[in-house]
Amino acid sequence: MTLHINEAEVREVLDMPQALKAVEEISRKQATGEVVVHPRRRFELPGGGFFHYMAAADYSAGFVAMKQYTFARGKVRFLVPLYEMATGDLLAVIEADYMGQLRTGAASGVATKYLAREDSRVAAIIGTGGQAKTQLEAVAAVRKLESVRAYGRNASKLEKFCSEMSGRLGLPVTPSSSAGEAVRRADVVCTATTSSQPVVSGADLAPGAHINAIGANHAHKRELDDEAIASADIIVVDSVEQSRQEAGDLIIAFHGDEICWTGVKKLSDIVAGKTSGRTSPSEVTLFKSNGIASWDLAAAMKVYAAAVDKKLGRELPLWKAAGEA
């Protein structure tokens, strides 16, 4: 039986604490080789659109998932098919917009847990979309934030974002007049924009800050300037292979110097204790997130199990023989 699980049902069964646990667990498996990840690939479509696909396999759990999504005419459509290894059965087809927002936020939450200072109290968020909301939610789940400063180019969206997130997090989220104003003296900085040019300058970063940069995933796009990258004592990514293809923040700042890549660490190795993260309060740490399929697989496994338990979703009549009921 193949279940179709829609966006509303995903929202019903998956929340940030579950997503954080799922991403952290699968990161440990990735470090041991139990989980294998295939990086994102793209087809460029006529009219400036894209078709993206990436996949991951969890050999210990026995599941494989692929994330597929299109961007065309300003719309994005996300889908995650989940397969069982032992039978080859397609267990579920999951609508994955909200699931993707949660897993991306959760990854930054895990990175913040392992890299940000324990006494981090002030966060800055650049961007006011759905991804920005889950970024803040995840950071607030792993650190005892006292305040958040936010910046976005659209003033009305910024005001609405601050009001909504203040209520959701139970702490003051206030608008800033510029990205620099938001970032200065912040302990944790998150960038979740569609900008192709830097929105954060290294000159504005405080000593000991932690940065989650999640918006740019094309080789020619970046959210952080050269100084911001140069100021990072520790640079962490989700996948070095994928980052070398599409992490514009790093590709542009490294200026083709291969030596720069030798010091880049993987989040999975830090979570599993195979390599060190922050070693002093004054270090600036950076997590450059591109988004990898293991996170989608981890979330999809949680969603499928919960949907089956709650009898959600609807059966799709795939591969049924003619006349079969």
Which active-site residues does the annotation give? 67
Q: Look at residues 325, 316, 317 and name the one whose alpha carbon lies nearest to residue 5.
A: 316
Of 86, 69, 89, 87, the closest CA to residue 77 belongs to 69
CA nearest 300: which of 126, 80, 144? 80
d(CA 106, CA 221): 23
- Token reading at 118: 């324990």
Non-local CB neighbours of 251 within 8 Å, separated by 6+ positions: 219, 244
Residue 122 sits at the vertex; the CA angle it makes with 118 and 126, to the nearest 5 degrees, is 120
- Is residue 60 within 8 A of residue 297, CB to CB? The reply is no
Nearest C-alpha neighbor of 253 from the set 231, 282, 275: 231
Q: Which residue has the tokens 């897993």?
A: 103
Tokens for 193, please give them.
């924009």
Cα separation, 114 vs 223, whole angstroms = 22
Question: Distance between CA 11 and CA 263 in Å, rounded?
Answer: 38
Tell me which residue of 296, 277, 279 sits closest to 287, measured CA to CA. Answer: 277
Q: How far apart are CA 9 and CA 102, in angstroms?
A: 14
CB proximity list for 100: less than 8 A, separation 6 or greater: 67, 69, 78, 291, 296
Q: How far is it, in rounded angstroms, from Cα 263 to Cα 180?
A: 28
Six-digit token string for 30:
């990735």
